[in-house]
Homo-oligomer: A and B are copies of this chain.
Amino acid sequence: MVLATTLPDTKTRLLDAALLVIRTKGYAGTSVDDLCHAAGVTKGAFFHHFKSKEDMAVAAAAHFGAMAESLFSRAGYRELSDPLERLLAYVDFRKSILQGALPEFTCLLGTLVQEAYETHPAIAAAANRYISEHATTLEADISAVMATRGTPPTWTAASLALYTQAVIQGAFILAKAKGGPQVAVDCLNHLSCYLKLLFNHKP
């Protein structure tokens, strides 16, 4: 009889460690030994599960994408019926996540793509994929807002969805520069303000 699920399996431990360590030290700044030490496994285990460090980064991007998808799809704001309220609540939800130390709430995909976009095409493609997937879920919500509130001149739902992601990524960079999340909160407040102005939100 199996009493309890013990530790997550080795591969998952490595991926979880990768999320934290790479967000802390960057991809190139993280050695395979760093990862193994953080996950409490040996190098043999690492290269049993991943054929190279780059391969692991691609898997880590997928792991991060899956965690994010789970986080946002389960979040309470998803149940709001009014499309604009739901979109604004998304921004508020992102604000509420900005807690704890920087490596815990910043985006692995943004970190990866900035380092790897020229040197590691496979990593860049993976980061782009999961960023774009998240933007696409937003795009659906924005289309719903446009259907009820009217479409602002010239913009598409897709371009506005990408803009929100740019604001979020940029907010993380400023938070890293300033050493704390306050500036990121301010940026998300501006984003919220923009959305309300665009769609004539009445308070």
Contact = CB atoms under 8 A, between A and B. Distances in A.
A166 B155 contact: no
Copies of this chain in its oligomeric complex:
2
Contact of A166 (B102, B115, B116, B187): B187
Contacts of A176: 113-114, 117, 124
Q: Which of A117, A189, A197 has the most CB of B within 10 A?
A: A117
Given A162-B174, A162-B183, A163-B187, 18 more contacts: A26-B28, A26-B114, A26-B115, A26-B116, A26-B119, A29-B115, A102-B118, A124-B179, A132-B177, A155-B193, A159-B186, A163-B186, A168-B170, A169-B173, A170-B171, A194-B194, A194-B197, A197-B198
Interface of A: 24-29, 102-103, 109-111, 113-119, 124, 127-128, 131-132, 152, 155, 159-160, 162-163, 165-171, 173-174, 176-179, 183-184, 186-187, 189-190, 193-194, 197-198
